[in-house]
C-alpha cells in the first residue's frame, strides 16, 4: 500500500514539475553584432535587460539568461534597452517578442539585440488615427505620410491606434506603406483594431498581435523610457470603455518599480485620451515616481493639449494628436482623389513631430500636403460677386484657428503692419468646417463618390477671433497673426488679405 502511495506521489510530483517546465520559457539576450540571430562565442551576453510576459518582469543575469512563466493569451517580449534594437521585418516593425504562433510550444527563445547608436536628442513622429478601410485609404496614407517622411531622419514612428476602420485584413498593407519611411515603427492598438468576433477577452487583440506584436509593452530609447498601453477594454459584444485590465496594471507597476531609479521622466503612448479613462486616477497615482510625464493619444479626431495637476512633479502633459485621416476620410476629394477630411475642430489632416531632449519637449504639427509654415487657418469676411454660396456665413469677425495651440497660447493680430492686438479665445465651430458643410448642403459635391460630412457640432479648443475695425478705410488690408506659447515652444505666424467695405 505504501509503495502504491509513494508511486502516486512521485508521479504527481513529476507531472507538476513537467507542467512547471512546460509553462516557462528560457533563453539569453545577447548583442548580435554579426546579425545572424545566433549567440556566437565572441558575442556579449547582455545582463540586467528586462524581459516580460505582459505581467511579470525579470532581469537577465550576468550571463544574459532569463526564465519567465508563460501566460495564456500573452507572449514574452524583451523591453528594448537603450543603444540596442531588435531585428526589424521588411515593414520596419520591431520584432522584440516571441511570435504568437510559437509561444505556446516554445521552451527556449533567445533575443538577439543589434547595437544601435541612439542620440540624447530624439525626433519621433506620431500618427493619429489612420483609420484605413479600403485600398484607397492606403494610397492616401502613402501620399500624405510616407512620401513626406521617407527622406527625413526620424528615430522612430508611433501610430496611435485605430489603424483600421474595423477591417483587420488591411493591417499588412498599412504596415507595408508605413514601413517604406525607413524608421522603426512601434504600433499602438485602438478600438477599431479589436476583433469582436472573438469571444474570449484575451483574444480580442489577436488579429492586431499577429501582425504588430504585443498590444502593450515598453521600450527604452536613448535616455528615455516609453510605455505603450492598450487602454481599450472590451465590453459586451461590440462595446468598449477606456480602461486597463488588471494584468496590464501589474505590468505597469512592475515596470515602474524596475526602472524608476533610472529615469526621471516617462512617455505614455496610447489610443484613448487619459481624461476618458475610467481608471485615470490610478494611472496618475502610479506615475508619481517620475518628475516629468508626457502622454500622446488619438481617438477623438480633434487635437488639443491637456494638463493634469498632481501632488508631486510637474503636471502631466497630454497631447491628443488628431488624425491622419482627418474626419474618417470624409468630404470632397482633391486631384489625387484624397478627401479634404477636415477634423471636426477645423484642423487639416496631418501628423506630429515630437522632439525630446533630456530637458525639454518640442511639438510641431505638419499639415499633410502643405508647407511646414502652415500652422494657422485665418478666416476673414469675404463677399463674392459670382459664387455667392458662402456669403451667408460672413460676419464681422476675423478668426484664427491655431492647430497646435494649448490653453496658454496667446494670439495677436496686426493690420497693415501696425501694432499687435490680442485676439479673444472663442468657443465655437471652425469657420472652415461650416463652409465645407454649407457647400455639401447646397449639393456642391453630389456628383462625387464621397463619405459625407455630418452636421457640425464640435467646439474647437484652439480658435480665436476679433471684430474687424469699424473705422477701416474701404479696400484691401494686410492681416498678420502670430500665436505664442512658451510651454510648448510655439511661435507661429499666418497672413491674410481682408477687404474692408
CA 358 to chain centre: 21
pLDDT in tens, 448-459: 999 999 999 999
Average pLDDT estimate for 8-29: 61
The x, y and z cell numbers of residue 11, run together, are: 508521479
Tally of CB atoms within 10 A around 78: 25
Nearest to 168 by CA among 188, 186, 192: 192
CATH number for the segment(s) 122-367:
3.60.21.10
How does DSSP assign 412-445, residue by residue?
EEEETT---EEPEE--S--HHHHHHHHHHHTTTT
pLDDT in tens, 25-60: 999 999 999 999 999 999 999 999 999 999 999 999
On the question of pLDDT at 221 being above 50, the answer is: yes
pLDDT band at 199 (very low <50, low <70, confident <90, very high): low
Q: Confirm if 273 and 320 have CB atoms less than 8 A apart.
A: yes
The x, y and z cell numbers of residue 52, run together, are: 516580460
Average pLDDT estimate for 354-359: 92
pLDDT band at 235 (very low <50, low <70, confident <90, very high): confident
On the question of pLDDT at 249 being above 50, the answer is: yes
Rounded Cα–Cα distance for residues 359 and 219 (Å) = 19
Rounded Cα–Cα distance for residues 206 and 355 (Å) = 33
Tally of CB atoms within 10 A around 476: 10
> Which ranges in 277-430 belong to alpha helices (H)?
280-286
Pairing of strands 424-425, 463-467: antiparallel
Quick one: residue 398, left, alpha or beta (phi over 0 = left, psi -120 to 50 = alpha)? Answer: beta
Tally of CB atoms within 10 A around 446: 9
- Helix, coil or strand: residue 176: helix
State what percent of residues in the chain have pLDDT above 70: 95
Average pLDDT value for the chain: 93
pLDDT band at 486 (very low <50, low <70, confident <90, very high): very high
Res 237: pLDDT: 76
Average pLDDT estimate for 143-149: 98
Which regions of the chain carry the CATH code 3.60.21.10? 122-367
Tally of CB atoms within 10 A around 9: 10
Rounded Cα–Cα distance for residues 50 and 79 (Å) = 5
Name which of 5-9, 66-70, 395-399 the model is least confident about: 5-9
Longest dimension (CA), the chain: 112
- For the chain, give the number of residues: 501
Average pLDDT estimate for 109-119: 97
Identify the DSSP state of 166. S
pLDDT band at 121 (very low <50, low <70, confident <90, very high): very high
The residues near 71 (Cβ < 8 Å, ≥ 6 apart) are 53, 54, 55, 247
The structure's pTM equals 0.93
Tally of CB atoms within 10 A around 107: 12
Identify the DSSP state of 144. I
State what percent of residues in the chain have pLDDT above 90: 90
Res 238: pLDDT: 79
Res 200: pLDDT: 67
CATH number for the segment(s) 376-500:
2.60.40
Rg from Cα positions in the chain: 26
pLDDT band at 8 (very low <50, low <70, confident <90, very high): very low
Q: How many CA atoms lie within 13 A of 380 on its CB side?
A: 20
Rounded Cα–Cα distance for residues 85 and 64 (Å) = 16
The residues near 16 (Cβ < 8 Å, ≥ 6 apart) are none
Tally of CB atoms within 10 A around 263: 17
Rounded Cα–Cα distance for residues 122 and 124 (Å) = 6
Q: Confirm if 316 and 274 have CB atoms less than 8 A apart.
A: yes
What is the distance in angstroms between the CA of the first residue and the CA of the last residue of the chain?
Answer: 110
Burial class (CB in 10 A: 0-12, 13-18, 19+), 67: middle
Res 9: pLDDT: 43
Count, in order, helices (H) and strands (E) of the chain. 8, 27
Identify the DSSP state of 452. P
Amino acid at each position: 500500500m505504501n509503495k502504491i502511495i509513494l508511486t502516486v506521489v512521485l508521479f504527481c510530483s513529476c507531472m507538476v514539475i513537467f507542467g512547471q517546465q512546460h509553462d516557462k520559457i528560457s533563453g539569453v539576450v545577447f548583442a548580435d553584432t554579426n546579425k545572424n540571430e545566433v549567440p556566437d562565442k565572441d558575442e556579449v551576453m547582455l545582463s540586467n535587460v528586462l524581459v516580460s510576459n505582459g505581467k511579470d518582469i525579470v532581469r537577465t543575469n550576468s550571463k544574459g539568461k532569463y526564465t519567465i512563466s508563460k501566460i495564456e493569451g500573452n507572449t514574452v517580449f524583451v523591453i528594448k534597452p537603450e543603444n540596442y534594437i531588435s531585428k526589424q521585418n521588411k515593414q520596419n516593425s520591431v520584432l522584440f517578442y516571441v511570435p504568437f504562433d510559437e509561444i505556446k510550444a516554445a521552451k527556449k527563445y533567445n533575443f538577439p539585440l543589434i547595437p544601435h547608436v541612439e542620440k540624447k536628442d530624439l525626433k519621433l513622429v506620431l500618427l493619429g488615427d489612420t483609420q484605413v478601410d479600403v485600398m484607397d485609404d492606403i494610397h492616401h496614407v502613402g501620399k500624405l505620410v510616407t512620401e513626406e517622411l521617407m527622406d527625413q531622419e526620424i528615430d522612430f514612428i508611433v501610430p496611435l491606434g485605430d489603424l483600421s476602420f474595423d477591417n483587420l485584413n488591411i493591417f499588412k498593407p498599412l504596415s507595408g506603406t508605413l514601413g517604406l519611411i525607413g524608421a522603426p515603427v512601434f504600433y499602438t492598438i485602438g478600438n477599431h483594431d479589436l476583433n469582436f468576433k472573438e469571444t474570449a477577452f484575451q483574444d480580442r487583440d489577436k488579429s492586431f498581435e499577429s501582425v504588430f506584436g504585443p498590444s502593450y509593452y515598453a521600450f527604452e530609447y536613448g535616455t528615455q523610457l516609453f510605455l505603450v498601453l492598450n487602454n481599450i477594454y472590451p465590453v459586451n459584444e461590440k462595446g468598449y470603455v477606456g480602461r486597463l485590465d488588471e494584468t496590464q496594471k501589474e505590468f505597469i507597476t512592475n515596470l515602474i518599480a524596475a526602472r524608476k531609479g533610472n529615469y526621471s521622466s516617462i512617455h505614455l503612448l496610447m489610443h484613448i485620451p487619459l481624461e476618458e479613462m475610467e481608471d485615470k486616477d490610478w494611472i496618475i497615482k502610479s506615475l508619481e515616481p517620475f518628475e516629468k510625464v508626457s502622454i500622446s493619444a488619438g481617438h477623438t479626431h480633434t487635437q488639443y493639449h491637456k494638463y493634469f495637476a498632481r501632488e508631486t512633479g510637474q503636471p502631466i502633459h497630454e497631447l491628443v494628436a488628431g488624425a491622419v485621416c482627418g474626419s474618417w476620410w470624409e468630404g470632397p476629394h482633391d486631384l489625387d482623389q484624397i478627401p479634404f477630411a477636415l477634423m471636426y475642430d477645423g484642423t487639416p489632416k496631418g501628423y506630429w513631430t515630437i522632439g525630446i531632449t533630456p530637458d525639454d519637449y518640442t511639438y510641431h504639427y505638419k499639415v499633410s500636403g502643405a508647407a511646414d509654415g502652415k500652422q494657422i487657418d485665418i478666416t476673414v469676411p469675404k463677399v463674392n460677386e459670382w459664387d455667392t454660396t458662402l456669403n451667408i456665413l460672413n460676419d464681422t469677425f476675423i478668426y484664427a484657428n491655431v492647430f497646435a495651440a494649448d490653453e496658454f497660447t496667446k494670439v495677436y493680430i496686426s493690420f497693415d503692419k501696425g501694432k499687435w492686438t490680442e485676439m479673444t479665445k472663442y468657443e465655437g465651430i471652425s469657420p472652415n468646417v461650416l463652409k465645407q458643410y454649407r457647400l455639401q448642403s447646397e449639393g456642391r459635391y453630389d456628383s462625387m463618390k464621397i463619405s459625407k460630412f455630418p452636421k457640425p457640432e464640435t467646439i474647437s479648443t484652439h480658435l480665436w477671433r476679433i471684430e474687424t475695425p469699424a473705422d477701416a478705410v474701404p479696400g484691401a488690408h494686410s492681416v498678420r497673426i502670430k500665436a505664442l506659447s512658451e510651454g510648448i515652444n510655439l511661435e507661429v505666424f499666418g497672413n491674410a488679405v481682408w477687404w474692408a467695405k
